[in-house]
Amino acid sequence: MDGEYSVYFARDCGGVSDGRLRELTLRLSREDRARAERYLRRESRLMFTAARLLLCYALEDCFGIRNAEIRAAPSGKPYAAGAENVCFSISHSAYSCICAVARREIGADIQKRVSPSPRLIGRVCSPAEAELLRTAEDPAAVFTDMWALKESLLKLTGEGIPRGLAAADTADYPARGELLRFGDEHIAVSTYALPGEKGSVGAMDEGRVITVAAEELLRTGK
C-alpha cells in the first residue's frame, strides 16, 4: 500500500442475477449473511454484499489478510479482529462502492451527485456552508462534496454527531479531508488528526484509487 491510505473502487455492480446474489451471499461470514438477509430491498442487499467482498479484496491485497473476522466496536464502527493497526472504511451509493484502507483511523464515503433543495441544505449544511452554496457556480457539485466529506468524518470517529450533519462544519472540523470526483460520483476520505488541528480539504491523488472491475469482484473475489 502506497502512501497513507488506498481506496478500492468498484462500479456498475448492478448486473447480478438473483441466483448469483444468493451465491455471493454464501461467501460472507455467518453474521454478515444474517445482516444481508435483513435488507428488504434487493439493491441494499446486493450492495452490502458487494461492499463486504470489496473489503475482503482490499484487506488481502494490502495486508495479506484472508477471511478477516469483521466485528463492531461499541460505537458501531467495524474493525478486523486480531489485525493490529489495520483500519478501513466502506461505503456504497447506487451500484458503486468503495473501501479505504490505512494503518491509521480513516473514514470514507461515496455519494451520487444530488441537486440540493432548500430543505436539504437546512438539514445538512452549517450557515457558513449554506452561504457558500448560495454563491457557488455548481451548487450540486459543492453540496455533494460537503455531504460526502461530512459522512467520511462521521465514519472516521465512529461516534456520530448527535445534533446532525449540519453540526459538522467541513471548514473547521479537526480532521483532514480529501475529495475526488468520478463523473457524478463524489468520493471523500478523512484521516485522523490530533484534537485541535485545523482541518483542510484538498484533491485526492488519483494514484491512491485502485479500480476493481465489478465483474471480477462479483465473479471470483480475491
| CA–CA gap between residue 49 and residue 52 (Å, rounded) | 5
For 117: left if phi > 0, alpha if psi spans -120 to 50, otherwise beta; the answer is beta
Spans of all domains in the chain: 5-219
Handedness of CA 110, 111, 113, 119 (dihedral sign): negative
pLDDT for the residue 198: 66
pLDDT for the residue 169: 79
Per the structure block, which three cell numbers stand in for 218?
462479483
Per the structure block, which three cell numbers stand in for 104?
491509521
pLDDT for the residue 194: 67
The architecture that CATH gives domain 5-219 is Alpha-Beta Complex (3.90)
| CA–CA gap between residue 108 and residue 57 (Å, rounded) | 17
Strand order in the sheet with 96-102: 87-93, 96-102, 5-10, 209-211
Least Cα distance to 66 among 104, 99, 32, 29 occurs for 29
Tell me if 151 sits within 8 A of 188, measured CB to CB: yes
3-class SS letters over the chain: CCCCEEEEEECCCCCCCHHHHHHHHCCCCHHHHHHHHHCCCHHHHHHHHHHHHHHHHHHHHHHCCCCCCEEECCCCCEEECCCCCCEEEEEEECCEEEEEEECCCEEEEEEECCCCCHHHHHHHCCHHHHHHHHCCCCHHHHHHHHHHHHHHHHHHHCCCCCCCHHHCCCCCCCCEEEEEEECCEEEEEEECCCCCCCCEEEECCHHHEEECCHHHHHHCCC
Least Cα distance to 201 among 134, 133, 153 occurs for 153
Q: Which of the residues in the chain have pLDDT under 70? A: 1-3, 159-163, 171, 174, 194-199, 220-222
33-49 pLDDT tens trace: 888 889 989 999 999 99
Indicate the pTM of the whole model.
Answer: 0.89
Cβ neighbourhood burial of 140 (10 Å; 0-12, 13-18, 19+): middle
pLDDT for the residue 117: 93
